[in-house]
Amino acid sequence: MKPAATGIAWRAGDPAIRAELAARLERDDATGGAGALLQSNARRTLCTLEIPLAPAQAGRGRTSGGSGIAAAAARRFVIKTHHLATGRHRWREALKRRLGRSPAEREWRALLAFEAAGLPGPRPVALGRWPSGDAIVVCEAVEGSALRDCYAAADDALRDRLVARLADAIARLHASGWRHGDLHLGNLWVRAASDEIVFLDLQRARRMRRAEDRLRDLASLELSLLRADWPAEARAALRARLAVGDGFDTALRRFAADHVRGRSRRRLVPGRGLAHIRTGAVRGLAEWAIPPEALLAVVAAAERAPQRRERRAGRAWIVESTLAGRAVVVKGHVARRGLARLVDGLRGTRAARAFWRGSREQLLLGRTARPLAYLEQRRCGLPAASWLVLEHVGEIDLDAYRPHSPREARTLALATGAWLADLHALGWHHADLKGSNLRLAPAPDGATPPRLWLVDLEDLEGPGPIDDEARLAALAQLNASIPDAHSAARDRHAALARYVARLPFERAGLDLEGAHQEILRRSLARAHRFRGEACPPPSLDGSGGAEAEGAGLSPS
């Protein structure tokens, strides 16, 4: 709830429109009355407000901030209140306001600068301060729809046009010397009349000072597109139009690391998103919404479950169960003896490592099974046993799934190649990347790309740089775990081509065919499920076999 509007101290904008706004807000209170509340949190509140304007006022022309209001019977405005005085960090925000660096003032200056430069943004209408001290920024509403929604509902032709419009808008933005600072789908709007892409929420917009500023903007957008499941082809087309250059993936990994680091400090903290679990010698953490009694009961039942699947000579096991109405997987592990137990005591149990690493990845993209809780039991200060509870994902392990048609096999191969390339591009590396550690949810039609999740999370590392050796090892291990009958040679090669197209190797001479031969050699050396029956053997000089019908890479 915003404060009453009486006594708004206006600092900029058209006086006539400001008077209309003040009168309407005074009548209709903080939420905009006949308008709609769009968003409200500790930092800001947004609402829309429609105000009838007299013809003389509607056609008055340009405001003192330079915005034009065309003649019309009514106009819709977006009213954003920055909670500088009533929100968190009040003293810090008060100091920023005195220095002219508050979010509201930064946004107002950016709105004026965007309009002066002809950049697509909302038209600024007024800047002021509520009686409470919170700042108010008023803009003309942009008629249209969110790019996220517009793209999701579009056909192929409109999607191509939206990608082109988005590339043009970003190119104009950066060519003018500005960066958005928070470039993601939530801050992009499609103007109804022209399909023009409009930038919203400009409080972090700044003048670019370094070349890295542009790449950071693009990295922020790439992460947003990945979260929205934009197709790999659309993202590749956008990167090509923007000519991102060789430094893009380095900037993307740096942005991903900063993103995870910042959110970990705010969310992965006991007392906020997590709760301590303590009972007897058992300690652990769980998501705040999970009842501790239910968690302990599920783990105890899993310990006794006759259907549990054992691994590592009985030291590890897996049971599917339910917890608080959701399907889960409980993984138990008995600690090793001797020095190994001491090492686990220092670096954390398997369950603890998997919980923290998976939780960090969930903050970025959500390509792992979501960790819900972990528990561990210690004796004499050293771990004796640990338990991890994960959200149940997928239907089957990747290495156990045999596609029902050649079309589905090709779709699966290409999707997995793109999926792994994006994972590596963000800086995530799995040291035990085999098919049994990837869960799959195939699409019913066989033509829609399936969903994939990592499930063995203690071997997940990142985000950070991944060298060619680690990437080759992961690709070879995954390829070796997929039986020949499950993926044709040409599909394996197509998967590698999709991977390399997104994330080329850095080593000189390690192109698609060179990587193909190296992965084939390493896969055969593993003597796992892949036998290379449909693939020619690699030549001694590493050059042979490339012309065959796609010698082998798994759907990676």
Output the pLDDT for position 55.
56
Q: How far apart are CA 103 and CA 93, in angstroms?
A: 9
Enumerate residues 6+ apart whose C-beta is below 8 A from 337: none
Superfamily of domain 396-526: Transferase(Phosphotransferase) domain 1 (1.10.510.10)
- Tell whether domain 144-245 is in CATH 3.40.50.300: no
Output the pLDDT for position 215.
96
Place of tokens 């699409």: 443
Output the pLDDT for position 96.
57
Q: How far apart are CA 474 and CA 508, in angstroms?
A: 19
Output the pLDDT for position 315.
85
According to CATH, the topology of domain 274-391 is: Phosphorylase Kinase; domain 1 (3.30.200)
Strand partners, 371: 390
Half-sphere exposure of residue 372, counting CA atoms within 13 Å on the CB side?
A: 23
Distance of CA 83 to the CA centre of its chain: 27
Residue 128 contacts residue 10 (beta carbons within 8 Å): yes
Least Cα distance to 81 among 40, 51, 124, 115 occurs for 40
Does an H or E element contain 376, and which?
strand 371-379
Question: Please, what is the angle between helix 156-175 and helix 211-227, to 10°?
Answer: 160
Q: Which residues of 507-534 are buried (b: 16+ CB within 10 A; e: fewer)?
A: eeebebbbbbbbbbebbbeeebbbebeb
Longest pairwise C-alpha distance within the chain:
86
Strand partners, 386: 333, 376
Least Cα distance to 447 among 485, 406, 479 occurs for 406
Burial class (CB in 10 A: 0-12, 13-18, 19+), 231: middle
Place of tokens 């220095």: 99
- Each residue's pLDDT, cut to its tens digit, for the chain (556 residues) gives 344 445 788 888 888 888 888 777 766 654 444 457 888 887 888 888 887 765 555 454 444 344 444 445 678 899 998 887 665 655 555 555 555 568 889 999 999 999 999 999 999 999 998 888 888 999 999 999 999 999 999 999 999 999 999 999 999 999 999 999 999 999 999 998 888 999 999 999 999 999 899 999 999 999 999 999 999 999 999 999 999 988 999 999 999 999 999 999 989 999 888 999 999 889 999 999 999 999 999 999 999 998 889 887 778 999 999 998 999 999 999 987 777 777 777 778 999 999 999 999 999 999 999 999 999 998 887 888 999 999 999 999 999 999 999 999 999 999 999 999 999 999 999 999 999 999 999 988 878 999 999 999 999 999 999 999 999 999 999 999 999 999 999 999 999 999 999 999 999 889 999 999 999 999 999 999 999 876 654 443 444 443 334 334 443 3
The CATH code that applies to domain 9-140 is 3.30.200
Q: Which residue intervals of the chain bear CATH 1.10.510.10?
A: 144-245, 396-526
Question: Please, what is the angle between helix 211-227 and helix 248-267, to 10°?
Answer: 70
Residue 199 contacts residue 173 (beta carbons within 8 Å): yes
Helix (H, G, I), strand (E, B) or coil at 80: strand
Q: Which residue intervals of the chain bear CATH 3.30.200?
A: 9-140, 274-391
Output the pLDDT for position 544.
42
Question: Please, what is the angle between helix 489-502 and helix 232-242, to 10°?
Answer: 40
Least Cα distance to 181 among 206, 147, 199 occurs for 206
What stretches of 280-342 adopt beta strand conformation (E)? 282-287, 309-311, 316-323, 326-334
Half-sphere exposure of residue 262, counting CA atoms within 13 Å on the CB side?
A: 7
Output the pLDDT for position 187.
96
